[in-house]
Structure formats: structure tokens, C-alpha cells
Structure 1
């Protein structure tokens, strides 16, 4: 993985004004993946929107880490079900057009 696909945790935390312990806690709860390269910790740039969502839930709504874990997993299940519904609707339209 190239470093251009990663953002340093210290840079991220400085930019968003959040403690690095929050990012480490997200990793401990397996909500995000941290990549270690050259003795520095990084977040994948594809995960930034997810981390922002978790930050809003935690800091704006005061949801603790256990709650974040539950809410995040439920949101993923809802998103998966929405994708399945879209796929099934597309298949159904294919048969309705016949």
C-alpha cells in the first residue's frame, strides 16, 4: 500500500482536533484499521468518512465507545440490506419488463 493512500494519525487528529487516544480506541473496538509503516500509524484515506461519522456520534451525541460499536454495526447492516433491496428491485424490474 502506498503512503499516498494513507493519512498520519497525528496529522488527522491535529486537523480534526481530536485526541489520538480516540483513534486508538476505535482500533481497539475494531471499528477502523490502522496501518503501521515506518514506525508511524496511519489511517486509510478510504476510512476518513467513516471516522468522521464515528467522531460526530461520539463527540456531538455523547455516545460512548460501546454504543459506537453497536450503532456502527447496525448502520452497516442497514446499508447492506439497502444494497440487497436495490439489487432485488433491479432484478425484479428485469422480469417485469418481459
Structure 2
């Protein structure tokens, strides 16, 4: 991975006004993956959106890390089910069109 695609955790700590230990805890629970380059911790830039969601859940709803993990797992399952439903609808439309031909 290119270092241009990585954001230093220290920058995120300053921006969001949170402790470095918060990111270590997120990694410990498995919610994020930290990259280490020369003793500096980085987060892939594509993970910033998820991190912002995690911070909002923790700060706005006062959820602990385990609850946030449950929320993310449930949201992932909902997304998978929505994809499966859309696929089933698409297949059903094919059969409905062939029925009228």
C-alpha cells in the first residue's frame, strides 16, 4: 500500500480530539487495521468513513466498543441481505418479463 493512501493516527487524534488508545482499542476489537511504518501508526484513507461512524456512535450514543462491534456486524448483515434481495428482485423481473412475451 502506498503511503499516500495512509493517514497518520496522530493527525486523526488531533482532528477528532481523541486519545491514541482509542485507536488501539478499535484495532484490538477488530474494527480497524492499523499499519505500522517506522514506529508510526497509520490508517488506510478508505477507512476514514468507518472511523467517523465509530466515533459518532461512541460519542453521540455513548456506546462501548463491544456495542459498536455489534452495530457494525448488524449493519454488515443488513447490507448483505439487501444485496441478496436486490438480486432476487432482478431475477424475478426477468421471469415476469418472459411471462408476458
**Normalised by the size of structure 1, how large is the TM-score?**
0.92
Partner SS state of residue 41, structure 1 = strand
Question: How far 1:34 moved relative to its partner?
Answer: 0.8
Choose 1 or 2 for highest CA Rg: 2
* 1:65 equivalent in structure 2: 65
Question: How far 1:97 moved relative to its partner?
Answer: 1.9
Question: How far 1:83 moved relative to its partner?
Answer: 1.5
Gaps (5+ residues) in structure 2?
A: none
Gaps (5+ residues) in structure 1?
A: none
Partner SS state of residue 95, structure 1 = helix
* 1:32 equivalent in structure 2: 32
* 2:92 equivalent in structure 1: 92
Pairwise CA RMSD: 1.1
* 1:16 equivalent in structure 2: 16
Partner SS state of residue 15, structure 1 = helix
Partner SS state of residue 62, structure 1 = coil
* 1:5 equivalent in structure 2: 5
Partner SS state of residue 36, structure 1 = strand
Q: Distance in 1 between matches of 2:87 and 2:32?
A: 27
Q: Distance in 1 between matches of 2:97 and 2:72?
A: 38
* 2:42 is aligned with 1:42: yes
Q: Distance in 1 between matches of 2:78 and 2:69?
A: 14
Q: Provide Cα deviations, 1:73-94, integer angstroms capped at 9, x if missing partner.
A: 1111111111111122122222
